[in-house]
Amino acid sequence: MSIVITGATGQLGRHVISSLLRLDVQLPDLVAAGRNEDKLGALRELDLATVRVDYTDPATLDEAFAGADTVLLISSSEAGVRVPQHRNAVDAAVRAGVSRLVYTSALGADRGKLLLADEHLATEQAIADSGLPYTIVRNGWYTENFEPALRHAETTGVVLASAGDGRVASATREDYAEAIAAVLAQDGHAGQTYELSGDVAWSFDELAAALTEVLDREVTYRRLTPEQHLAELERTGVDESTARFLVALDANIEDGALDLVTGDLSRLLGRHTTPLVDALRAMR
């Protein structure tokens, strides 16, 4: 069994590789594919086979996927151009005749609530149209994405957000990676679409309470309007484009885009997802 991990130089990809090795997948059966040569070099030092890939360069994808049984397509980080990049990867997987393609999509992508969901849905459709056996893993939000909130709360005792009473069913990056590894290493997942999220959808008041416990100081949630939130982010040095994205994301959260709890993640893990307090404590 040969498994090609695209995006292997990113944090999720590296966690997937570690999880596969813990499942006794053998090093010779893994190929780490990524764009960053320096990070690929670090993986080679672990005796992993590596290959450089660029989603915009079909020739690199053909080289990476040649002889592969399974390909994990970790979604591109380049918003706005993901669809053609992903189509290049899907086409290369077809040419290589891979036995299964696994794609990391977005939680509730077909609910139409989440920013950039359209790009993920278009990729899912391209995969379905390809004729390849496939598995879709729709990843929810990483708890690690709230590390900036932890750092801010450490110094101010405040969580600032414009998410209202919205909830987030987050899990750790390692939780997601471990579940993806299980899908890659085991039979019986072909044709499945998994909605992966944490076992608990928490509110920002509950985030503040968890930070109170972790930081051993009182932390409160200050509800901002979108306009106040944008101004606060820009005041702290966040560039306008990123600030507008973060404010739009909070609007998505308020609208319920990240509160979906299905139990798919914990079932794949064979355990509960990492509790919010434990995940925050690990970031200190």
| Average pLDDT, rounded, for the chain | 96
Evaluate if residue 227 carries a pLDDT over 80: yes
Q: Exposure pattern of 208-247 as b/e (b: 16+ CB <10 Å)?
A: bbbbbebbeeebebbebeeeebbebbeeeebeeeebebbb
pLDDT digits (tens, 9 = 90+) for 172-187: 999 999 999 999 999 9
Indicate the pLDDT class of residue 116, thresholds 50, 70 and 90.
Answer: confident
Token digits of residue 261: 């709890």
Question: β-pairing, 167-168 with 202-203?
Answer: antiparallel
pLDDT digits (tens, 9 = 90+) for 52-73: 999 999 999 999 999 999 999 9
From residue 195, alpha-carbon distances to 116, 137, 169, 265 in Å are 16, 6, 11, 7
Amino acid making up residue 176: Y
Evaluate if residue 48 carries a pLDDT over 90: yes
Mean pLDDT over 207-218 rounds to 98
Q: What is the pTM of this model?
A: 0.96
Length of the chain: 284
Q: Helices (H), strands (E): how many in the chain?
A: 12, 11
The pLDDT, as a whole number, for residue 121 is 96
The pLDDT, as a whole number, for residue 79 is 87
